[in-house]
Amino acid sequence: MSPITSHILDTRLGRPAAGVCVTLERRDAHGSWQFLHRSATNDDGRVPGLLSEGGLTPGRHRLTFDTGSYFEEQQVEHFYPQVTIEFEIIRADEHYHVPLLLSPFGYSTYRGS
């Protein structure tokens, strides 16, 4: 299993958000963001395989969700064209789950299990 996982729940519909593009990046020692992986959420709103097992290193990471395209496909007016969540990896031997609860005019996140 990937050491970093995510899923998106569309709270407007009360169901998973499928087909949302998600990008994972890591900040290097110079402060620049390095691309690690890009994928789209599956029918269950999950992004499996963001990072290969054993590929996690401590440091700052971020997930960027292309929420604008998701809502535009549904012809839904929205406020946030993308959601970016930065988080700190302290221990590379742990699993980090970063869910996104999404609506057209707001979002929430937390560290899940």
Q: Measured between alpha carbons, how far is residue 51 from residues 15, 63, 97, 106 in Å?
A: 25, 12, 12, 27
Which residues lie closer than 8 Å to 32 by C-beta, 6 or more apart?
none
- The arithmetic mean of pLDDT across residues 66-74, rounded, is 97
Question: 107 — phi, psi (to 5°)?
Answer: -155, 165
SS3 content of the chain, % helix, strand, coil (to 5): 5, 45, 50
pTM as predicted: 0.95
Q: How many Å apart are CA 89 and CA 66, to the nearest integer?
A: 23
C-alpha separations of 9 from 17, 43, 60 in Å: 6, 11, 24
Length of the chain in terms of residues written: 113
Tell me how far CA of residue 67 lies from CA of 60, 76, 92, in angstroms: 22, 11, 28
Measure the CA–CA gap between 16 and 29, rounded to whole angstroms: 36
Whole-number pLDDT of residue 40:
97
Tens of pLDDT, residues 10-69: 999 999 999 999 999 999 999 999 999 999 999 999 998 888 877 899 999 999 999 999
